[in-house]
């Protein structure tokens, strides 16, 4: 297991870097001494992960950056730096882990059961309430994302109301309590675009810490129904052939990975 004896600085959804740092290197850790010298006193700098040895600082969103520092949205840095899927232990994967944990640390200061101030558990990555003994682990929210294809060898891509710049991507949705991953896929496709699917197969997964998702990617076959976007979450949807694709999501997303794989391999 690689040990990363470095540190990250976050501010809201942004990564904070020295002014002269290259965006392509944004996902690599900074030296601990640089981060401690520049930010000690402005934020808590815990070791976020004993296994990898990473430390991180989460600045208040209103804090002014020290001279010589700048910030870049993590997702923008990802589209510049990432190639293919983000894997555990890669520079992007390590940063995702640190960012996920730092957000969780901020949101788990108090016990969700009795309201006391939480401490860190003596072992493992957990909060421990000193009053009632409740433990809290980093929350991970599973979400499915699915490439649906039809008999004309076209893929279903949709424009979500939250997407910028006319981007079309795969349909996705959070898993609800009591659901299997397959039932989530069937429900989401019915709700969002009014179609039925079958032949659901696992494709790939990727952490997505905005704020705490695990994206579980699948493929499925169109099995019926007239395509009809719900008009709320999905504003437009259509069937696209490989040689006439719309604007796609950026690198470093599981959606782009699955679309690229379909384009190159036909699966």
**Which residues of the shown chain bind Zn ion in the complex (CB under 5 A)?**
111, 113-114, 116, 129, 131-132, 134
CA distance 246 to 237: 11
Shorter beta-carbon distance to Zn ion: residue 70 or 106: 106
DSSP 8-state class, residue 167: B
**Minimum gap (Å) between residue 109 Cβ and Zn ion:** 12
Residue located via tokens 């401690």: 36
* C-beta closer to Zn ion: residue 135 or 267: 135
Residue 213 is classified by DSSP as E
Q: In a 3-state reduction of DSSP, which class is residue 6?
A: strand
What is the end-to-end Cα distance of the chain in Å, rounded?
A: 33
Tell the burial category of 85 from Cβ atoms under 10 Å away from its Cβ (0-12, 13-18, 19+): buried
Which of these, 202, 215, 76, 211, lies nearest to 143 by C-alpha position? 215
CB nearer to Zn ion: pick between 18 and 119:
119
- C-beta closer to Zn ion: residue 104 or 218: 104
């Amino acid at each position: 297991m690689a040990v990363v004896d470095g540190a990250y600085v976050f501010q809201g959804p942004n990564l904070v870097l020295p002014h002269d740092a290259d965006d392509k290197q944004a996902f690599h850790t900074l030296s601990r001494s640089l981060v401690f010298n520049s930010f000690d006193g402005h934020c808590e700098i815990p070791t976020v992960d004993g296994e990898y040895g990473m430390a991180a600082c989460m600045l208040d969103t209103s804090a002014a950056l020290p001279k010589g520092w700048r910030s870049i949205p993590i997702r923008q840095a990802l589209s510049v730096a990432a190639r293919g899927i983000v894997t555990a232990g890669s520079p992007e994967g390590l940063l995702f882990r640190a960012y996920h944990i730092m957000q969780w640390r901020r949101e788990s200061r108090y016990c969700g059961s009795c309201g006391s101030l939480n401490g860190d558990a003596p072992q493992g990555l957990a909060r421990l309430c000193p009053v009632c003994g409740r433990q809290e682990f980093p929350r991970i929210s599973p979400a499915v994302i699915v490439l649906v294809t039809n008999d004309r060898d076209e893929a279903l891509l949709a424009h979500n109301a939250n997407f910028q710049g006319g981007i079309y991507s795969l349909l996705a949705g959070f898993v609800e309590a009591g659901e299997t991953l397959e039932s989530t896929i069937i429900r989401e496709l019915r709700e969002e675009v009014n179609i039925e699917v079958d032949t659901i197969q696992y494709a790939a997964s990727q952490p997505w810490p905005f704020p705490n998702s695990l994206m579980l990617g699948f493929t499925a076959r169109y099995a019926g129904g007239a395509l009809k976007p719900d008009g709320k979450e999905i504003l437009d949807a259509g069937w696209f052939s490989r040689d006439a694709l719309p604007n796609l999501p950026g690198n470093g997303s599981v959606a782009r990975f699955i679309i690229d794989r379909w384009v190159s391999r036909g699966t």
